[in-house]
Structure 1
Amino acid sequence: MYLDTESAFQHSIRLSQTSARIVMAPSGGAFRTIVGHGSIRATSVFPSVKAGYSMPCEAQHERMHVRICEADPRIVDYQHQPHRLEIMLSNRSKPLVYFPDAIRQRDDGSIEVVETKQTQDQFERSSRYVDKLDYAEQVYATLGWRFLRLSQDKDLEVQPLWPNARMISRRNKRRATTADRLRFQEAADREGGTLPFGKAAEVLAADGSYEPCDAVTLLHRLIVGRTAFIDLTRRIEIDSPVKLITDPGPPSMLRSLPELFGSDIGFDELEMELS
């Protein structure tokens, strides 16, 4: 469900003697790099073209997820380490604290909160951890957000998704001009909205402004910038279809969440029973 009004956060959540809150960075950027468990956490960073700032990452599976979000035209926007979720349970003196790895918005407007691990087994490392993720999933569900558990071995490092995402996220640094976008759009319109990958690169290089390798890099940039669509779950070849994106979907709302709702979103009651 696309959340476009503050009323989405006003649903009463009913759970016996239980409440929860989400705390975000006022800037709408990464939260955990600002403060996490009382200290600054050392991270690597990925310079995101799509999001417009560098994404913090703490592990290989997080970096892989960042690159997939960057390259996948179905993802409108994303943030890593976006907030802190605190769940107050009646049988605990301190809140149950959870830091999701990422939040992302899809082109249909839906919001997904993501937890990543190296292996699927790590999601079940202890009953306490399983319960924490289950509680988090149900809190996010009250906002209409999906909660995904993605592992490197089962979901991220898979063929051909990962090689495609790695290639596109690494080779997209050539800035696309308005003329570049119009040239691709006009060529795609002439062909019914879709061009083979090789033909799309030829179109971008047709006037001699770019070498063939630079034209491919430029096409990657159009994919990251969501002017062009390609299916990352299929092997990219010279005849792979590249579609013109005519409906970009709803604009991103991720970085405007603190402005719209404040950096501290509280839930006085939970509407659903957390088992």
Structure 2
Amino acid sequence: MRRIINGRHRKPTGRYSSAKARRALPWEDKRERAFFWHCEADANVVAYLSQPHRLEIHVGRPRPLIYFPDLRRDLANGRVEIYEIKKAYNPDDDADYDLKLRLAADVYEGLGWSFRIIEAPEIERRPTLDTAWSVQRYRHVALSERDRFAVVTAIEGHGGTAPFQDVADVLGGGAVGMARLCAGIVRRIASIDITAPLEATTPVSLAAAPVGWLFPGA
């Protein structure tokens, strides 16, 4: 909705090629890019989009308040989350901006959506960031139908939860098996807890089927 990469910024900007969102998502802060990693690796996230819409809030002034949220996430349980991503946020720094965020939160609440300001310490918390980065870096690895079937069979054969290494082994083992399994997590075939370290014993389960989500992505 809002053009981030326009040649006017004096700070790093870029595009993140997302396999889950099936598009290149613009970012204007390294914390935004890092949060994309979270979304890409978290199988609970069905789809996500940066700068998803323009919100106009009429408050009796000559011009409405204009707000572009940083990110929308659609979850497998049907919930919609809206995020404002900040290095740090102090509402006292700008009273008008804080009013805009509070009013935007009211609008989203009326839609049944959640709204959060998420700051750098939470985005960059370890081991979540390390696990998310490790998974998402294999997001574009190709998976065959045989690979997908092998993941499902391996997990079901362990009663619904299998060690990461065991599932990777049926996909070729070693670096190849790890890459394919991580790609399967991004594509929501399998799921792990990204807040825990990624290890050989990390539990892997099948991703939950999405319920009631509306905008395409995964």
TM-score, normalized by length of structure 2?
Answer: 0.92
Residue 196 in structure 1 maps to residue 163 in structure 2: yes
For 2:171 and 2:92, the matched residues in 1 are separated by 48
How far off is 1:111 after superposition?
A: 0.4
- Give, in whole Å, the separation in 2 of the partners of 1:161 and 1:81: 24
Task: Point out where structure 1 has 5 or more consecutive residues left out of the alignment.
Answer: 1-30, 206-210, 257-275
Q: What one-letter code is carried by the residue in structure 2 that aligns with 1:228?
A: A
Percent identity of paired positions between Structure 1 and Structure 2: 34
1:180 to 147, 159, 177: 147
| Gap runs ≥5 in structure 2 | none
How far did residue 125 of structure 1 move?
2.3
CA contact (8 A) 2:76 2:213 kept: no
2:118 partner amino acid = L
The answer on 1:168 being equivalent to 2:135 is yes
Secondary structure class of the residue paired with 2:171: helix
Root-mean-square deviation over aligned CA pairs: 2.0
Structure 1 or 2, whichever has the larger Rg, is 1
- Give, in whole Å, the separation in 2 of the partners of 1:250 and 1:41: 41
**1:254 Cα shift?**
2.4
Task: Determine the structure 2 residue equivalent to 1:136.
Answer: 104
Cα distance between partner residues in 1 of 2:203 and 2:142: 22
Residues in 2 aligned to 1:150 and 1:117: alpha-carbon distance in whole angstroms: 6
1:243 partnered with 2:198: no
CA 1:186–1:192 in 2, change beyond 3 Å: closer, same or farther?
Answer: same
d(CA) in 2 for partners of 1:101 and 1:227?
A: 27
- Partner SS for 2:111: coil
Q: Which residues of 2 match residues 186-265 of structure 1 at below 5 A?
A: 186-205=153-172, 212-245=174-207, 247-250=208-211, 252-255=213-216
Amino acid at match of 2:109: A
After superposition, the Cα gap between the structure-2 partners of 1:41 and 1:216, relative to the gap in structure 1 and judged at 3 Å, is farther
Distance 1:248 1:124, change over 3 A: farther
SS in 2 for 1:142: helix
Q: For the residues of structure 2 that align with 1:216 and 1:82, how far apart are their CA atoms?
A: 32
Map Cα deviations across residues 3-47 of structure 1 (whole Å, 9 max, x no partner).
xxxxxxxxxxxxxxxxxxxxxxxxxxxx1129x9xx787641000
CA separation in 2, counterparts of 1:251 and 1:190?
Answer: 29
Equivalent position of 2:93 in the other structure:
125
Is contact 1:173-1:217 (8 Å) kept? no
What is the CA distance between 1:255 and its match in structure 2? 4.7
Shift in CA distance, 130/46, structure 1 to aligned 2, threshold 3 Å:
same
Matches within 5 A, 1:263-274: none
1:198–1:57 distance in 2 versus 1, CA, 3 Å: same
Cα 1:40–1:251, aligned 2, differ >3 Å: closer, same or farther?
Answer: farther
Contact 2:41 2:135 in 1 (8 A): yes
